[in-house]
Amino acid sequence: MLIIFGGLPGSGKTTIARALARELGAVHLRIDTIEQNIRASGMLSSEVGPAGYMVGYGIAEDNLTLGNIVVADSVNPLKVTRDAWLSVAARSGVQAVEVEITCSDQDEHRRRVETRASDVPGLRKPSWEEIVTRDYDDWGQRPIVVDTAKQSVDQAVAELMSKLGAGRRQ
């Protein structure tokens, strides 16, 4: 199974994606980590662009064909990136589930953005202004939506496990 996460920075997506991956024994694939390591290589002459996502698609496909569950963690702001994840699942012959993480409490979302530290060395987190003005396509009716303003991480993971039809690991 490919579980495709998306949501604005600071919404709680990485925290929930990690917790879900741990619960499922899945591969956690984080685009921020891939992109920052591409930058750190010193080989770029311009911005990362789609390179991080392209690497992520390949790593996901490798792991899916090995029979691993993959939790793909990225902002995933555009329909084209979401469709590309769906194509990875289709090529791998596995089910894809889309999960959009939101934080409906704008004050709480802003507080998170303005107080969090980066856990990826060298990664500059976007400002609140950059987040609220970024391009972010509507997901339509496809995804499972998890609102982190209304529940804890454990509650969100339990909800996702239920919707995925997965039992808790022993």
Q: Tell me the pLDDT tens digit for each residue of 83-93.
A: 999 999 999 99
Fold (topology level) of 2-149: Rossmann fold (3.40.50)
Model pTM score: 0.92
Buried b or exposed e, range 7-45, using 16+ CB within 10 angstroms: bbbbbbbbbbbbbbbebbebbbbbbbbbbbbbbeeeeee
Q: Give 58-79 pLDDT, tens digit per residue.
A: 999 999 999 999 999 999 999 9
What residue ranges of the chain have pLDDT lower than 70?
166-170
